[in-house]
Amino acid sequence: MKRNERFISYKDALREALLQEMERDRRVFVYGLGVPDNNAVFGTTRGLKERFGPERVFDTPLSEDAMTGIGLGAAINGLKPVHHHIRVDFLLLAFNQLANMVSILRYGSGGKVTIPFVIRAIIGRGWGQGLQHSKSMQSVFAHIPGLKVIMPSTPHDAKGLLTAAIRDENPVICLEHRWLYDQEGNVPLKQFTVPLGKSKVLRRGNDVTVVATSWMNIEARHASEILKKRGVSVEIVDPRTIQPLDEATIIRSVKKTSHCIVADNDWLNCGFSAEVAARVSRECFGELKSPVERIGFAPTPCPMTRVLEDEFYPNAGDIVRAIEKALKLKPMDLSKERFYSHENRFKGPF
């Protein structure tokens, strides 16, 4: 650890972002099912109610649709709501409000209302999250003009992006992968923001670009470590913000490496991976030495049983294989590598 470094978990970074921004700005309030309970949204809202009182930190009836409209109304009237969903799947109950009200109201009022509204939702995975506790859906939210979508993948970005999202005067959906919650990283204690709409090169490399979202950054890093052994240098770009997308950083990287693999934490069909592939093809058409390849969930509902779940989710091994194909390398022996190891650590229940 270097001097001035402080390692904390992703979930503690989220909590710190909420706590410090609530201290700084009295307009911020935090609500959602389970926000003040003993689980405290896996620790991210712990102690907030005791500190800021029941008007600014409160539990809610289930009512996802109305609770989203309520956040919108409060935002219009000058408050800064942060709404929590313990699964993205539950946020889908609010889709009417998101697509028909939250996203259009500024446009529909001729720019007269502002909507500083943050919606946090957790992407579940593993230990049987299965059919209805595992969705990611960033493409669906990003499809709608008027919504911003962020997917922090490191503790540093979790704090910086959530803080920036709360200060943003627009609706922002923050998608947090459950497995990232216990990842640790260097996070300054002092408040800071990571601007929305800025991709980040997580790892420098020269031979191939991997654009990875959310948890897939962990897999991409794992893949890059495996490939390093055979002298392949992988550049990993984390878009961090899905909408608005900073494509310039991605394009710059692909122009350098001439190969692009998109590893999206979602289904592929009509998805964010297709969006990146289309933009890279448009901007780097003459420079690409292999077609843009996409890696994501199998086109099925997410099954519960582990053996099928391992088939459903892509892993570092799939990224290695895709890179080998792009670079026309013989498949290396991966039999000694350990994949899906986080499954053995995460014991749920959810």
Partner 1 sequence: MAQVSKKVAAELYQKAYLIRSAERKICDNYPKDVMQSPMHMSMGEEGIVAGVCQALKKKDQVFGTYRSHGLYLAKTGETDDFFAEMYGKVSGIANGKAGSMFLSRPAAGLISVSAVVTTAIPVAVGAAYANKLKRNGKITAVFFGDGALEEGAFWESLNFACLKQVPILFVCEDNGFAIQTPLRARRGYASIIDIVSRFKSNVFQGETTNPEVIYGTALKAIAAVKKTRKPAFLRFKYYRYLEHVGVRDDFAVGYRPRNEFKKWEKIDPVKVMRKNLLRKGMTEKTVVGMEKAIEKKVERSVARAEKAPFPPRSDLYKDIFYEKK
Q: Considering only 65-73, 121-129, 229-237, 303-311, which stretch makes contact with partner 1 by CB under 8 A?
A: 65-73
The backbone torsions φ and ψ at residue 118, rounded to the nearest 5 degrees and listed phi first, read: -110, 130
- Helix intervals (H) in 87-234: 88-91, 95-97, 105-108, 138-142, 155-167, 216-228
Omega before 116 within 30 of 0, i.e. cis: no
Question: Residue 290, SS3?
Answer: coil
Binding of partner 1 by 193 (CB under 8 A): no
Strand pairing class (184-186; 7-9): antiparallel
Tokens of 110: 């001729």
Identify the residue among 110, 231, 286, 331 touching partner 1 (CB under 8 A).
110
Q: Which of 20, 39, 96, 233 binds partner 1 (CB under 8 A)?
A: 96
Residue 41 CA to residue 10 CA, distance in Å, equals 13
Residue 53 binds partner 1, judged by CB under 8 A: no
Pick from 104, 118, 108: nearest CA to 146: 104
Least CB distance to partner 1 at residue 137 (A): 21
Contact assessment for residue 98 and residue 318, using Cβ atoms and an 8 Å cutoff: no
133 is catalytic: yes
Catalytic one of 83, 85, 133, 259: 133
Per CB under 8 A, 336 contacts partner 1: no
Q: Which is nearer to partner 1, 9 or 97 (CB)?
A: 97
Residue 291 corresponds to which tokens in the numbers above? 């077609």
Q: Which two tokens stand for residue 252?
A: 């710059």
Token readout for 203 is: 């790892």
Residues in region 124-183 near partner 1 by CB under 8 A? 145-146, 148, 169-170
**214 in Cβ contact with 265 (< 8 Å):** yes
Selected from 9, 16, 29, 264, the binder of partner 1 by CB under 8 A is 29
Q: With binding defined as CB under 8 A, does residue 37 bind partner 1?
A: no
Q: Pick one of 1, 4, 38, 55: the residue that binds partner 1 (CB under 8 A).
A: 55
Residue of 19, 33, 41, 67 that binds partner 1 (CB under 8 A): 67
Number of residues that bind partner 1 (CB under 8 A): 41
Q: How far is the CB of 99 from partner 1 (least distance, A)?
A: 9
Which residues are near partner 1 by CB under 8 A? 29, 55, 60-61, 63, 65-79, 81, 96-97, 100-101, 105-115, 145-146, 148, 169-170
| Catalytic center residues | 133
